Amino acid sequence: MTRLGLGALLSHWRHNPWQLATLIAGLALATALWSGVQAINAEARVSYDRAADVVSGRGLAQITRVDGAKIRTEEYVSLRRTGWQVSPILEGEVQRGGRSVLLIGIEPMTLPGGEGTQDDEQSPLELEDTEGADVISAHPDDAAVFEGLDVTVRPDTARVPGRALADIAVAEDVLGRPDEISRLLVAPEQPLGLDPLPPTYRLTQTGDQTDVARLTESFHLNLTAFGLLSFAVGIFIVYGAVGLAFEQRRAVFRTLRALGLPLRRLMALLALELGVFALVAGALGVALGYLIAAALLPDVAATLRGLYGADISGQLRVRPAWWLSGLGMALAGTALAGAAALFKLARLPLLSFNHPRAMSMHADAAARWLALAAGGLFGMGAVIAIAGQGLFAGFGLLACLLIGAAFCLPLTLSAALRLAGRWHHGPLAEWFWADSRQQLPGLSMALMALLLAMAANIGVSTMVSSFRLTFTGYLDQRLSSELYLTTSSPGQAEAVTRYLDDTGATVLPIVWQDLRIGGLPAEIYGIRDHTTYRENWPLLQAVPQVWDRLAAGEGALINEQLSRRLALNPGDTLETGDRVLGVYSDYGNAAGQVVISETAFKARYPQIETLRFGVRTADPDTLAAALRERFDLREDALINQADLKAFSLSVFERTFAVTTALNILTLAVAALALLIGLLTLASLRLPQLAPVWALGLTPRHLAGMELLRAVALAAVTGLLAVPLGLALAWVLLAIVNVEAFGWRLPMFLFPAEYARLGALTLVAAVLAAAWPALRLSRTPPDRLLRVFSNER
């Protein structure tokens, strides 16, 4: 009985292969986008962990000098002698051919528990080869940086790109910094009765998470949110396909039950059928997700490098965790989408008949319930907006807004179609609008998916375009020096500045020191009092006479990120002891920044040499050529403003390349949903269309009306997506971005972009409707006649 029942159920899919393809494609796409994002996140997290092992030590405390100076070897030895179980780390950049690698020197003998040298997936580090030569372990892409040095480079794909490891003695040689230690790692186990740390040192407890992981958390949450949105859009397709298959098989269900198949067995068979589809589609989806992740990973890596300085491996590995997560999501999504069908089956009376209009009326009731649920979601969103805090609250608000709006769609569309029906007179128009309302239940899921995808597109494009506009203006303000110069030594710096003074150019030193504020990495800059800053810096808030007071050393300017993160405003005091005089916008940088006067900086960090300068000149090309000729500068030592802006903008563009790509994929999925919905409906339409044909309309005329209907529904959905998209943009700009990146941007409107997206959606709707319409226009009369009689 079970086998026969299953055979009867499966025969539906054999006769409707397109519907099966729809179901599998929808679920596979949903899983693919979700698991693709998870693959990227998983890869990034593994990279952070590896980086954390060598950079800061996972969960290990660190010792640095309070004055920011390097620790000398004798200081390290002295601390060891007093019982401190510490291990030295020396870090420095090695540059060649425009590529920069952070070389990290470690002392394997004293490294706490070997933590820094290997993790569960990374190959063990051997810092000497079999012949005793010095070894640098680096990612294969970084090996070229060390060419020509008297060391053996051991390429290792498991290494994080941009970071290489070596024994500290080798690092000292390569970096040319003997007797220097950047910081000391503190072993978790320390002897009892240890002498307190001398006041010249600072002990920093690193949390369980690394700095990079904490800084990038919001970025990954953003990606996850987009993955979920794409998944939701895909699940709408699955819901639509499962629901329609249920409606089409009502008669089969009734017959099977009438023939003696128990309801529970029938439900179990249906669940089994869906489970098998979910596993097949899930496996396909995870495989497709791998390809998507592999395609997007380089952009993500570039984004994380540009925005956070985080290096992640560009190589994707198959990890069981996201395979299982992908399959789990496919099963969960199918269960969600199939639950309604199973519920209906459980309540299906043995004797019930399909009445299209009755189905439409049930759908009206369902639409009213959905609208009520939407009201609840909007209410919840309002509560979150007022009382919620943090990134999760931001995403919670977004979810309430988007799902609520999607739930409102069937009722709104129904009302819009009823209104349109009142405006248009004539039998065809009347039938067209009434019939369109009747088609809504079959199409509403696809239209919801379209609404979400379009709103996401409008929202994200508004955010990105607003950001681009603001960022371009910001770069014009911030990068006001015509040339940016990096000298190789204090001697060269002195010679160059003297020459520049002689030529009449204005020299603006760029000097900074890394520090930690609020437990996170930050930078403190010293700037010279000059009209360049006074006229150009984008101050968001400031005390009166801010520049005069800054020059007088009365306080500091801080960037917006730091201001928001630590809730600091002008008048407050930083943990460095500086009074906040103003807050400036600082886009494209996740870390906190403090600006004090050059004089105050030099007094606080006398050991920091000034090696970088901004140069104001009326003729940058001539001056750049003269500087190169006179001072034998490296190619990358002198950068003009235009190049720097172009570089910054390229970082910006890559930052949003991933979200844009996910957006386009989501829209494509929604268009597919519409195509699938229309194709499936087309098979059910003949009984409704044949009488109209018999009463005097040609199939071509009817096909044209079907096309028009798809365009009209997509157009109304598109119009509704505009306010929703703008609300989404507002939440992204005013809440999510502030939480994620620490800055708030002004919102601009881009009507031309929305019009282009609208046109694209209409084209997608026409394309989606074209095939079913073409099939209808070519329907032979005998197929239409079968509606009226089975007899010839």
For the packed helices 211-248 and 390-423, what is the interaxial angle rounded to 10 degrees? 30
**Does residue number 704 form part of the binding site for another protein (CB under 8 A)?**
no
Site for another protein (CB under 8 A): how many residues? 36
Cα–Cα separations (whole angstroms), residue 327 to 223, 342, 749: 19, 21, 40
Give the separation between CA 726 and CA 579, rounded to whole angstroms: 38
Residue 710 · residue 678 · CB < 8 Å: yes
Interacting residue with another protein among 209, 486, 688, 762 (CB under 8 A): 688
DSSP 579: B
Cα–Cα separations (whole angstroms), residue 679 to 227, 261, 683, 767: 27, 31, 7, 12
**Does residue number 356 form part of the binding site for another protein (CB under 8 A)?**
yes
Which single residue is written with the structure tokens 């199918």? 334
Give the separation between CA 487 and CA 551, rounded to whole angstroms: 25
The least CB distance from residue 737 to another protein, in Å, is 46
**Does residue number 438 form part of the binding site for another protein (CB under 8 A)?**
yes
Backbone angles phi, psi at 614, to 5 degrees: -100, 140
The least CB distance from residue 248 to another protein, in Å, is 17
What are the tokens at 324?
């299982």
Give the separation between CA 212 and CA 307, rounded to whole angstroms: 11
**Does residue number 779 form part of the binding site for another protein (CB under 8 A)?**
no
**Does residue number 197 form part of the binding site for another protein (CB under 8 A)?**
no
Question: Considering beta carbons, is residue 97 or 781 the nearer one to another protein?
Answer: 781
**Does residue number 426 form part of the binding site for another protein (CB under 8 A)?**
yes
Interacting residue with another protein among 196, 260, 696, 751 (CB under 8 A): 696
The least CB distance from residue 251 to another protein, in Å, is 16
The least CB distance from residue 364 to another protein, in Å, is 12
The least CB distance from residue 687 to another protein, in Å, is 8
Please list every residue from 359 through 388 that binds another protein, using CB under 8 A: 360
Here's the x/- map for another protein, 305-344, by CB under 8 A: it reads as: ----------------------------------------
- CA 338 from centre of chain: 30
**Does residue number 437 form part of the binding site for another protein (CB under 8 A)?**
yes
Question: Considering beta carbons, is residue 562 or 784 the nearer one to another protein?
Answer: 784
**Does residue number 698 form part of the binding site for another protein (CB under 8 A)?**
yes
Q: Which residues pair with 486 in a beta bridge?
A: 612
Question: Which part of the chain contacts another protein (CB under 8 A), choosing from 286-294, 319-327, 567-575, 777-785?
Answer: 777-785
Interacting residue with another protein among 133, 324, 358, 419 (CB under 8 A): 358
Question: Considering beta carbons, is residue 343 or 788 the nearer one to another protein?
Answer: 788
Query: What secondary structure, in 3-state letters, does 78-137 show?
Result: HHHHCCCCEEEEEEEEEEECCEEEEEEEECCCCCHHHCCCCCCCCCCCCCECCCCCEEEE
Interacting residue with another protein among 399, 446, 690, 732 (CB under 8 A): 690
**Does residue number 501 form part of the binding site for another protein (CB under 8 A)?**
no
Q: Which residues pair with 39 in a beta bridge?
A: none
Backbone angles phi, psi at 86, to 5 degrees: -125, 160
Question: Considering beta carbons, is residue 317 or 778 the nearer one to another protein?
Answer: 778
Half-sphere exposure of 576 (CA within 13 A, CB side): 32
Interacting residue with another protein among 369, 392, 771, 788 (CB under 8 A): 788
The least CB distance from residue 681 to another protein, in Å, is 14
DSSP 636: G
Pairing of strands 86-96, 61-65: unpaired
The least CB distance from residue 694 to another protein, in Å, is 6
Question: Considering beta carbons, is residue 226 or 433 the nearer one to another protein?
Answer: 433
What are the tokens at 107?
């002392």
Backbone angles phi, psi at 84, to 5 degrees: -70, 125
Question: Considering beta carbons, is residue 646 or 774 the nearer one to another protein?
Answer: 774
Amino acid letter, 138:
A
The least CB distance from residue 697 to another protein, in Å, is 6
Question: Which part of the chain contacts another protein (CB under 8 A), choosing from 427-435, 468-476, 568-576, 590-598?
Answer: 427-435
The least CB distance from residue 710 to another protein, in Å, is 17
Interacting residue with another protein among 701, 722, 726, 766 (CB under 8 A): 701
Instruction: Say which residues have a Cβ less than 8 Å from residue 568's Cβ, sequence separation at least 6.
Output: 558, 562, 574, 580, 583
The string of DSSP letters for 701-748 reads HHHHHHHHHHHHHHHHHHHHHHHHHHHHHHHIIIIIHHHHTS------
The least CB distance from residue 792 to another protein, in Å, is 5
Residues in touch with another protein (CB under 8 A): 355-358, 360, 426-428, 430-431, 434-435, 437-438, 688, 690-701, 781-782, 784-785, 787-789, 791-792
